[in-house]
Chain A
Amino acid sequence: MAMASSDNAVRSSNFTRALIYLVLILFALFYLLPFGIMLVNSLKPLEEITGGNMIALPQNWTIAPWLSAWSTAQIGVQPTGLRPYFINSIVMAVPAVAISTFVGALNGYVLTKWHFRGATWIFGLLLFSCFIPFQIVLIPMARILGILNISGTAYGLILVHVVYGIGFSTLYFRNYYAVFPTELVRAAQIDGAGFFQIFWRIMLPSSGPIIAVCCIWQFTNIWNDFLFGASFASGGSAPMTVALNNLVNSSTGVREYNVHFAGAIMAAGPTLLVYIVAGRYFVRGLMAGSVKG
């Protein structure tokens, strides 16, 4: 990945360079502003928002909105705050990410190193499943979850996210393993390693970067999912995004903007943290994920 600064041959004058910096900084502000405003206003008392300037810093700093959003705000009918929903999302996302990544790794390994007739077709079908509008599966999925009796549970959402996450995780690992030297697999075969031994001893130990990419991608997608959460999890079992939407769009009472902002930042927290810690991998993964089939 050519993210490292390269020796570009294009040169420009001082004036254009100043202009370039100006444009870039303006755009940086554009991207930072919404989040900055959320952060600033989440630390203000409500009167300062309704009666004041959204860009101004708080006159009376307060963390009350954060406490409220976390543990006492009204979500739906219960004044539970977002905490239980945050936990719901963790309980849902962690196993779903782990399972879909592992399955994707095995699939990628099979599709690249044990190529057989029809493998390209199978991969094409998997790949297309990444891009379907999920509306097309909502109705039957709701039925199946009902039949399996896991409707509205964490298991139900884990199943859904694993099922629709396999396509992307397979894509990542397939692309990664496609350029992984096949000679290594052959050498291991001659050394007497079997199918799973090759996977555990040779492939996985060299897959650190792609595991990171895949986990980040899956985590971001699953954590940020709204459609499945809203469709298949009701009330207390809803994930964070659904709870946040309930908080923000509940029509009763005074609109506590500062609490909404605090809640939104909480919902953004885990993926932002992952992005800050491992953003470089994230970008690389997106490149690879941009359907370089």
Chain B
Amino acid sequence: MGFLDINNVTKSYGSVEVLHKVDIQVQEGEFLVLVGPSGCGKSTLLNMIAGLEGITSGEIVIKDRVVNDVQPSKRNIAMVFQSYALYPNMTVGQNITFGLEMQGTPKAERDAAMADVAKLLQIEDLLKRKPGQLSGGQRQRVAMGRALVRDPDVFLFDEPLSNLDAKLRVDMRTEIKKLHQKLGTTIVYVTHDQIEAMTLSTRIAVMYNGYVQQLGTPKEIYDNPANLFVATFMGSPAMNVLPSKLVEMNGALHAQIQGADGQDVHLRIEDAPEAYRAFVGKDVVFGIRPEAITDPEGADRNARNIQALSNLVSVTEPAGADTFVSTTLSGKDCVARMRADADVHPGRPFEFAVNMDKAVLFDPKTENRIA
């Protein structure tokens, strides 16, 4: 049993089931991120935890109490909304203490609580202003203040950074992470931004089409994606997924892909999992992250199995710290991530170094990772 248990929860609108048997146990102090493209059901799930939407079947349990029939305000949760949802007619101070006022907390206590939160978030001098007079970042802080002041068991965040500009978004991200480390609260955080998910979370639930595709730590999700969707959704640029064939040559397994010149290329796989055996001679999808394809000098020194691959460079995109290099493999665009000073030129062949330790294979039929 966790601190917040989502037990086999489903949600239907009429006959349409939009969430299918979601089962997640969140421990106290965890930072769980629900990530997925729009329409995947992540916000619906968050609203169900909040009590803003009914639960069709299953249970949501907060601190050993089933809250299915408990009103939002009685669940001891707090929520930060995408639009911040600050009451426009109230001052910042009134916004922060409105929840306490509704619970009948005496004014002196409310003011004390407000002062603490304002200090923590450094918004003391904004308390008398109306939300309309605040900048985006300030509103974001006030919205967090309103959540913090209630000292809830669980914080819910619904895409709280998506209305901020790029720079502020990064700053606020750091700030939320600091706050979590400082207060040790339990957080469920919804975002469609996989970078936010990776940086903030202790665990990630990747959602798609109303299913949790994979639940795990950021590292697990990134290194061992459960299926093609997770593999391509998490990480930027996305993982390269190439049609391929698993073949056995010279007593070792090889992924056979097609070079830009139409010739087959074989990449040797070492320490292949037992499950690979069943796919020998069959089509598979070969997945490799851009940073696992480099120039030979830039290859990971700790890698045990680096395979050379010579292919024509189609495009180079310098991006400051890195240079992204495109090349065509198995008829698809494949991106490699290199050091800025790598000596690559479009239109010329280049010797790529492929770190096969990081390569994964997927079953093209089920789209699940073969492991």
Contacts and interface: CB of A to CB of B under 8 A. Distances in A.
Nearest to A191: B99
A183 interface: yes
Contact of A191 (B52, B88, B102): B102
Interface string A174-205: 00000001011011111111000100011001
Interface residues of B, number: 24
Q: Which of A184, A189, A192, A205 has the most CB of B within 10 A?
A: A192
Nearest to A204: B89
Given A189-B71, A190-B52, A206-B89, 18 more contacts: A181-B83, A183-B83, A184-B88, A186-B47, A186-B81, A187-B81, A189-B73, A190-B50, A190-B72, A190-B77, A191-B99, A191-B146, A192-B74, A192-B102, A192-B103, A197-B102, A201-B87, A205-B89
Nearest to B103: A192
Contact of A190 (B78, B87, B88): B78
Contact of B73 (A184, A191, A201): A191
Nearest to A182: B85
Contacts of B146: 187, 191
Contact of A186 (B74, B85, B89, B102): B85
Interface of A: 181, 183-184, 186-193, 197, 201-202, 205-206
B276 interface: no
Chain A interface main SS type: helix
B98 A188 contact: yes
Contacts of A206: 88-89
Contacts of A197: 102
B105 to A, nearest CB: 10
Interface in B73-108: 73-74, 77-79, 81-83, 85-89, 98-99, 102-103
A139 to B, nearest CB: 43
A184 B52 CA distance: 12
B87 A188 contact: yes
Nearest to A180: B88
Nearest to B150: A191
12 contacts: A181-B83, A183-B83, A186-B81, A188-B87, A189-B72, A190-B78, A191-B99, A192-B73, A193-B98, A197-B102, A202-B89, A206-B89
